[in-house]
Amino acid sequence: MDFRQRENIGFEFIKSKMLPATPFGMELIKNISPFKKEEEDILKEELNNLNKLSKKYDIVKADINAVRRIFMQMKDVRGSIKFGTENILSDIELFEIKIILMHMEKLKPLIEKLTQNLTLTGFKIEALKDAVDILDPDGRRIPAFAIYDDYSDTLKALRKKKREIEIKMQESEEAFEGLKDKRLLIAVEEEKEERKIREELSVKIRPYFGILLSNIEAVARFDLLLEKYRVSKLYPSCMPQITEDVLILKDTRNPYICDILKEKGLEFTAISIDMSIGTTVLTGANMGGKSVTLKTVALNTYLALCGFFVYANVASIPLFDDIIMIFEEAQSVNRGLSSFGAQIVELKNLLNIIENKFVFAIFDEFARGTNPKEGEGIVRALVALLNKKRALSLLVTHFDHIAELSGCHYQVKGLQGVLEERISKALLTKSNDDAKIGAISEFMNYGIFKVEKEKKPPKEALMICRLLGLQEELLDILNEIN
Amino acid sequence: MDIYDLIKDEERISFIGMCKNAGKTTVLNEVIKKLHKKQKNILLTSIGRDGEELDLVTNTKKPEVYIYKDDYIATAADLIKYCDITKEIVESTGIYTPLGEIIIIRALSDGFVQIAGPSISTQMSRVCESFKKHSKGKILIDGALERKSIATGKVSNVAILSSGASYSLDMEKTIRDTIYTSKLFSLPKFEIGLPEDFNRENYAKKYYIIEDGSLKKSEENIDLKEIWAKESDIDNIFVNGGLTDAMINPLLLSNAKLEGKRLVFFDGSRILIKYENFEKLKQRGLVFSCIDTINILAITINPFSAYGNHYDSGIFLEKMQKRTDLPVIDIANKYRS
């Protein structure tokens, strides 16, 4: 899934709600992607950790805040570490490495306590006391660094001599001018000795870089875990079960769309769907929010595969190799292809991938851009083909005679079950057409339901025509010819 | 007049120069020395880099500042190698300049330092906040010339202005411009609450009428000459940016009634008009005010010119002093340079 698609389904929105405390966590979140098939154990470990954190968060809150406070002080020193593996570090780099080592020292017991209390796995901070001691010879553990006198007797002696001169220089203007050059000579010697020590320190600290980097990696993942917890609280969520090939989402929501609706004073209707290998077709009235359903299913599946909680009451998600969405997007048109042409290119790509990979394929009104007769033919053939593949496919379509071929058929409830009389009563008080459309959408049920085979498609389009007062003449002819 | 007495109660002091070789660094060194004698530590940084006094290419005549043990500096990483104090790194600020990250260092010995601090005022505020975590000493800010504006409210409340013979061959001009600069910095303060969304995009107009202490947005461009052509209720106008002679000429030529009218600027450095025009407008009753003002504590003068045309130090001092109530200090021969 590319950035535009992730943005479109609302995944980037979820990311924007994450507030990592470390540059390491920030980077991890920036590059987040679904776990691969061979990483199933890691994915399950991640979800289990998140689940444990979620259950006991309030109990361990104080410790987590203490961890975050240290996190927030961490600077990205990986550049210095990389530089230091082959070069001599400067005072600033040694300072920064010392500081992060000290942070790790403080973090270690806190993370240990947390992982123990929550029985988390995979977050190990290894002790680096020896490394800190190298940069903190007198063990004061203050957040500063200098080439300390303790490092060499020569240095100590030089500085003592320099200091004596400096004190004399303070006595008078003449003393200052007279001793300036002498002081400078010692300062040069001092710098030479400091350089030697810097070199020794760089070599001594080098062997600890491996452990430090793996500690940093653990910090990054812990930071990420905390942020996954944070976004799990946006809307009701649950830990997804990772399944072989069944996808179940009960009362699922899309926080991105929820927030957009909320701004307009509207509420998101939770959706329930279950799918298995083969095709699932979604049909339903205009204005019914079919695309919303697709985005919601896509988002929550993607979240589960990235090790997040899923915005649903119950969720089972198969470990797909890939989620491929074929949506009619302006982007493909910009590439110079007609929207139909672009979709066909994407389909070709999908059919290639599907042979070797376990794919979740999502189509939003495929072939809408071409003439209805051929379009319908193509989609029928596509459904028949996808039925034979080991993949889950979800298609939204307007074409007739598609659902009958698919393994499973969902419909947006729309206006079904609402008496026309009731709606027309509500429209009486509405003066203009916009207000009427608004009033109709209030009766619209955005939920979806499974359609039994053989059931006739709803005739809502005609009802909407009547409600909005389309000319009788046209409606009469309509009835007549059908 | 002892310079220590002038600054002893101030928390932050900026050092501003009228030109190269005006003696700004000499004054700074003198202040540091005096404070050291009173056993007071300092925290030193600068606004950007004092480029005009230091030639990186030829590496000639580096004006160096001499600090003492337990003083602090904030300088760019690339300049640390030119500091011969024994250094203790106490903070890497995360503020980056073309010369590297700004690093806060505690001096473990006396010695010479080279300073290049942040050049953006918000960053300067951050450095000053960081300084306070480390020491209670006075914060000294070496201000570069072309960025006089930064030595204002947000960053520093008081300043010492250095002027000298290097400014101009003509002593009269040097004196007049120095006094003018000191006046611009010390213009009366005018309180207005700038809106939160104030930036170049949201407020692109040159002038804004000030109503009830805040800027009034309007579609039309304001013309100073027209708005004050007749008796007008509009008293205060905010100048969004710099004011040049070209902008003010039509107003000078008009019969606009300026008595009691006021122009408000961000700070004195935005007034770019000639001294004569400034005076003419003031005589017609126009008031110049600033949101951020800076209190000039003293003017220092250096009669020696780097270009050879030295002034008579006695006359220079006398003439300068006649034109201002501020203390004027002649630094020649007096301070270590």
Q: Minimal CA–CA distance to A78: which of A217, A199, A222?
A: A217
In this prediction, residue B311 has a pLDDT band, given cuts at 50, 70 and 90, of very high
A103 touches chain B (CB under 8 A): no
Looking at CA atoms only, how far is residue A177 from chain B in angstroms?
A: 9
Structure confidence at residue A453 (pLDDT): 67
Size of interface A-B (CB pairs under 8 A): 52
Residue among B69, B86, B88 minimizing CB distance to A144? B88
Residue among A92, A169, A191 minimizing CB distance to B92? A92
Structure confidence at residue A144 (pLDDT): 95
Residue of B70, B75, B89 for testing the chain A interface, max A β-carbons within 10 Å = B89
Tell me how far CA of residue B310 lies from CA of A91, A342, B166, B170, in angstroms.
45, 79, 8, 10
Looking at CA atoms only, how far is residue A86 from chain B in angstroms?
A: 21
Structure confidence at residue A78 (pLDDT): 95
Residue among A146, A162, A176 minimizing CB distance to B87? A146
Hey, are the CB atoms on B92 and A75 less than 8 Å from each other?
A: yes
Residues B131-143 have pLDDT tens digits of 999 999 999 998 7
Smallest CA–CA distance from A180 into chain B, residue: B111
Structure confidence at residue A224 (pLDDT): 97
Chain B residues touching A176 at Cβ < 8 A: 336
Structure confidence at residue B52 (pLDDT): 44
Burial class of residue B244, CB neighbours in 10 A (0-12, 13-18, 19+): middle
Chain B residues touching A144 at Cβ < 8 A: 88-90, 106
Residues B60-101 have pLDDT tens digits of 455 589 999 999 999 999 999 989 999 999 999 999 988 899
Residues A331, A339: contact at Cβ < 8 Å?
Answer: no
Residues B167-186 have pLDDT tens digits of 899 999 999 999 998 888 88
Q: Is the pLDDT of residue B313 over 50?
A: yes
Hey, are the CB atoms on B86 and A146 less than 8 Å from each other?
A: yes
List the CATH code of the domain at B3-186+294-334: 3.40.50
In chain A, the N- to C-terminal Cα span, in Å, equals 43
Smallest CA–CA distance from A195 into chain B, residue: B81
Structure confidence at residue A285 (pLDDT): 67
Q: CB within 8 A of A331, min separation 6: which ones?
A: A4
Q: What is the DSSP letter of A128?
A: -
- Other Cβ atoms less than 10 A from the Cβ of B21: the count is 23
The Cα A323–Cα A306 span in angstroms is 12
A98 touches chain B (CB under 8 A): no
A366 touches chain B (CB under 8 A): no
Chain A residues touching B87 at Cβ < 8 A: 91, 146
Highest mean pLDDT pick, A182-191, B230-239, B244-253: A182-191
Smallest CA–CA distance from A144 into chain B, residue: B90
Chain A residues touching B92 at Cβ < 8 A: 75, 92, 95-96
What is the rounded average pLDDT of the residues B275-282?
91
Q: Which residues of chain A have pLDDT under 70?
A: 285-288, 329-337, 453-459, 482
- The model carries a pTM of 0.83
The Cα A389–Cα B135 span in angstroms is 71
Residues B187-223 have pLDDT tens digits of 888 888 777 777 777 888 889 888 888 888 877 888 8
Structure confidence at residue A9 (pLDDT): 92
Chain B residues touching A169 at Cβ < 8 A: 110
Smallest CA–CA distance from A190 into chain B, residue: B86
Structure confidence at residue B333 (pLDDT): 59
Hey, are the CB atoms on A75 and B86 less than 8 Å from each other?
A: no
Residues A70, A106: contact at Cβ < 8 Å?
Answer: yes
